[in-house]
């Protein structure tokens, strides 16, 4: 009895990080309004779990640089992966947006720990452009998570500055032990003249630390209906 009372008085401590890992990819990096973004996410549960059963629902959102949600979806995670689509609203201005992925368990932590994928969206029916304060471009704490993967231990070597048409490309990919093993996707894109600031998020630095308390439990039973 004393042990039960003691257990009720103790609050569960939140681990330093969620232990979950998400790698997000989609069919393109350039879209027009009213089109669908088809995405795929590779998911890894915390290593401490022997059964691997943890989050079963993935939340994917289209957001602007300041975190404003433009569209959203939630899909079932199965076989360590999830896929779905999001329709781009026809009224948003042209600019750089982000596809953001996270689980309910990850909401116990800062949004900076979510996974982000930058996308360019064109609205040919409007001359309005998505604008951003200049200081966002120099805020290193707001870099997208796609860049954090490179900084945290994925090294590409053997690449040249330029390649000719149909020239064979050989490279070496080194993945540090700190990152999870599993499927990765390698994409090739034409270099553009945009500054790195075009791919920075305006997440507030004060949101970098969580509350230290477990407020959101993982969804173990799949998708559920809600009134929101």
pLDDT at 158: 73
Query: What is residue 207's three-state secondary structure?
Result: helix
pLDDT at 8: 44
**Distance, C-alpha 192 to centroid of its chain:** 22
pLDDT at 194: 46
Where exactly are the structural domains of the chain?
A: 13-208
pLDDT at 153: 54
Token couple for 220: 């173990």
Quote the CA–CA distance of 123 and 171 in Å, as a whole number: 37
pLDDT at 17: 80
pLDDT at 193: 46
pLDDT at 145: 42
Q: Does the pTM of the predicted model rise above 0.75?
A: no
Query: 13-208: which CATH topology?
Result: Immunoglobulin-like (2.60.40)
pLDDT at 101: 95
**Distance, C-alpha 121 to centroid of its chain:** 18
Quote the CA–CA distance of 21 and 14 in Å, as a whole number: 17
Q: pLDDT tens string for the chain (228 positions)?
A: 444 433 444 456 778 888 888 999 999 999 999 999 999 999 988 876 655 568 899 999 999 988 899 999 999 998 889 999 999 999 999 999 999 999 999 898 888 889 999 999 999 999 999 887 665 544 334 444 444 444 455 666 777 777 788 888 887 777 665 555 555 666 666 655 444 445 555 555 444 445 567 787 877 666 555 544
Token couple for 18: 């969620």
pLDDT at 64: 92
The CA–CA distances, whole Å, from 193 to 32, 132, 196 equal 20, 18, 9
pLDDT at 146: 42
One-character DSSP codes across 133-164: -GGGGG-GGGB-HHHHHHHTTEEEES--S---
8 Å CB contact between 133 and 65: no
Quote the CA–CA distance of 201 and 45 in Å, as a whole number: 26
């Amino acid at each position: 009895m004393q042990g039960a009372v003691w257990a009720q008085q103790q609050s569960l401590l939140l681990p330093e990080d969620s232990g979950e890992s998400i790698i997000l990819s989609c069919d393109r990096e350039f879209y027009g309004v009213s089109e669908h973004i088809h995405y795929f996410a590779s998911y890894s549960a915390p290593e401490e779990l022997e059964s691997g059963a943890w989050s079963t629902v993935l939340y994917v959102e289209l957001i602007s640089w300041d975190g404003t949600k433009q569209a959203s979806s939630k899909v079932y995670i199965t076989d360590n992966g999830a896929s779905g689509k999001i329709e781009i609203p026809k009224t948003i201005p042209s600019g750089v947006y982000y596809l953001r992925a996270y689980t309910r368990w990850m909401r116990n932590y800062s949004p900076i720990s979510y996974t982000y994928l930058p996308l360019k969206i064109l609205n040919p029916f409007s001359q309005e452009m998505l604008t951003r304060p200049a200081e966002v471009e120099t805020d290193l704490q707001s870099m997208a998570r796609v860049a954090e993967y490179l900084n945290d231990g994925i090294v590409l070597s053997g690449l040249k500055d330029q390649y000719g048409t149909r020239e064979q490309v050989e490279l070496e990919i080194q993945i540090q032990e700190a990152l999870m093993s599993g499927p990765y996707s390698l994409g090739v894109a034409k270099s553009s003249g945009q500054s790195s600031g075009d791919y920075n998020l305006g997440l507030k630095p004060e949101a970098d630390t969580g509350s230290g308390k477990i407020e959101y439990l993982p969804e173990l039973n799949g998708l559920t209906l809600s009134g929101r």
